[in-house]
Each structure stands twice: as structure tokens, then as C-alpha cells.
Amino acid sequence: MSTTIIYTIVSLVSLGLLFSVVLYFVAQKFKVEEDPRVDIVESLLPGANCGGCGMAGCRAFADALVKAPAIGSLFCPVGGDAVMEKVAAALGKEAVKTEPKVAVIKCHGTLDNRPKTNHFDGYASCKGMAALYSGDTGCRYGCLGKGDCVNVCLFDAIHIDERRGIVEVDEEKCVACGACVKACPKSIIELRPKGPKNRRVYVSCSSRDKGAIARKVCSVSCIGCGKCVKACPFDAITLENNLAYIDPAKCKLCRKCVDECPTKAIWAVNFPIKVPVAPKQEEGQSPIVNNES
């Protein structure tokens, strides 16, 4: 009985030793040479594997960073400039300053602004809904509110406000990875520079319908009147297909367009509340109180 156990132990140990020797030489022979810097860079990256950089994950991005001659347009939106500086220092490459971005929803068709015209009873998916028809409101460009963007966000930064029926971005949590931009079948999410002190001005509408139609279905739609284009002293606003677009690179945040917009489709966020200077001015403009709540 005991001899069986001894034979077993001896034979298995000798087999194990034999295989370990063979495997050692095989491993030496077929060793994959990998740049040790990839490991270092990967350890510096946030490790969210969100794909915001456009690569398959953090390791793939680290590999790309090591191989690239210069950092150039490679950028980790989650880590931001702080991480990219560390990576640049570790690799001995020149850091590129990039403006931090944030996702903005270019639609403010809440239930109050944009009443429902029909009831969608199917599976709650924006993609499925967009494939079937134009949507449950009169506007065929706006937010469908079924939360495809919420499902893909790895950072819990985007939510549906059920009461108002609109999607909102939590700008503290948003890292501008762009997952929501890809998920939205209506293409209403844009990554825009955060702006100085998080202040930014943008058109919160995606409707390319003619003014009369757009206004009929949603009270805060861009009607393509072009008043903002004329008001802008910096030529930052362009009007295309009945929809204004503010170029963030040219915008100096003067907010003249915000005052001018007849439907309040242009949003200025994180600005201090503007108080009317003096009652003497009889321009009849109401104080702009824009809140991103």
C-alpha cells in the first residue's frame, strides 16, 4: 500500500521537475520582448478601461504612448492633464496641454417645454425607439429619454431626471470619455471644453427643423433666426440647417447671444446671476438666470 503512494509521489515529482525544466527553456526561447515602460505607464493611468482614449483599454493606450514618437493627440480624458504630465515625465516626452472637456446635452426638451404627442410602450432603448419612429414628442431631433447614455456611462455621471423627462450630466463626475456620445442615436451629446471656471455657453438644442415647426413642438428650440449670429462680436456662431452652433474656440463668453435668443435656447452655465444694472435702462430685457440644476 505504502509503496503505491511512494511510487506516485516520486513519479509525479520527477514529471514536475522534467516539465519545469522544459518549460523554462521554452519560455526563454519564445520570450516576448516588451518595453518595461509599458508597465510603468499603465500603473500611472487611472485603470478605468473606459476606452475614452480610443484604445481598447488602459494597457493598449500605454503601449500606444510608449510606441508613439510624441504624445501629440494621445490623451486620457479620465486622468486629464495631471496624469498626462506624469506619463510624459516618465517617458521623457513633451507634455501637451489639453483643455478639459465635459459632455453637454444639446436638448432641453423637458416635459414642460416639449409635450408628449404619443405614448411609447416598447422596450426602453433609445436605439430601438429611434429605429422605429421619430420619437414620442413632436421633435424628431431631441432626447428620447430612454437612457442608452446612462447605461454606457462607467462613471455614474449621466442620469435621467424622471420628473422633467430629460437627461442631465453631472459635470463633477463626467470625464469626457465620449461613451455617451457614441451611444446616443440622435447625436445630441457633444464634448465641449469645460471653460474657465467651468463657465461655458452653448446652444442647448439639436433641432434642424424650420423655425415655425421647431417652435411649435418645443418652446426652447433653436428656431434658426440668426439673431445670435448678428449679436456675436467674435464670429463664433454659425447657422447651419436652421441650427446655431457656438464654436468654443472662438467664444469669449460675453453672453450677448444669450440675451438675444428669443427662445432661450442658448445656455450660459456656471455664471454668477446677472443683476440688472439700473432701472433707468428701458430695454425690457429680463435678467438671465440660467441654472444647470
Of the candidates 170, 178, 186, the one whose C-alpha atom is nearest the C-alpha of residue 134 is 186
Question: b or e along 81-109 (b: 16 or more beta carbons within 10 Å of the residue's beta carbon)?
Answer: bebbeebbeebebeeeebeebbbbbbbbb
When asked if residue 235 is in the footprint of another protein (CB under 8 A), the reply is no
Q: Which stretch binds another protein (CB under 8 A): 41-49, 101-109, 114-122, 259-267?
A: 114-122
Cβ proximity to another protein, 116 vs 230, nearer residue? 116
Q: Which one of residues 14, 73, 118, 238 is an interface residue with another protein (CB under 8 A)?
A: 118
Which whole-number Å values give the CA distances from 147 to 86, 107, 126, 183, in the listed order? 35, 14, 7, 9
Piece of 31-39, 86-94, 129-137, 232-240 that binds another protein (CB under 8 A)? 129-137
Q: Which is nearer to another protein, 51 or 193 (CB)?
A: 51
Q: CA 256 → CA 168, 219, 227, 229, 270, distances in Å?
A: 25, 21, 10, 10, 16
Residue 134 within binding range of another protein, rule CB under 8 A: yes
Grid cell at residue 152: 454606457
Q: Which of 9, 10, 26, 132 binds another protein (CB under 8 A)?
A: 132
Amino acid at the residue 22? V
Binding test (CB under 8 A) with another protein, winner from 52, 109, 135, 145: 135
Judged by CB under 8 A, which of 15, 133, 216, 238 binds another protein?
A: 133
Identified binder of another protein from the candidate list 46, 57, 128, 211, rule CB under 8 A: 128
Half-sphere exposure of 282 (CA within 13 A, CB side): 0
24 binds another protein (CB under 8 A): no
**Contact residues for another protein, defined by CB under 8 A:** 117-118, 121-123, 125, 127-128, 131-135, 140, 151
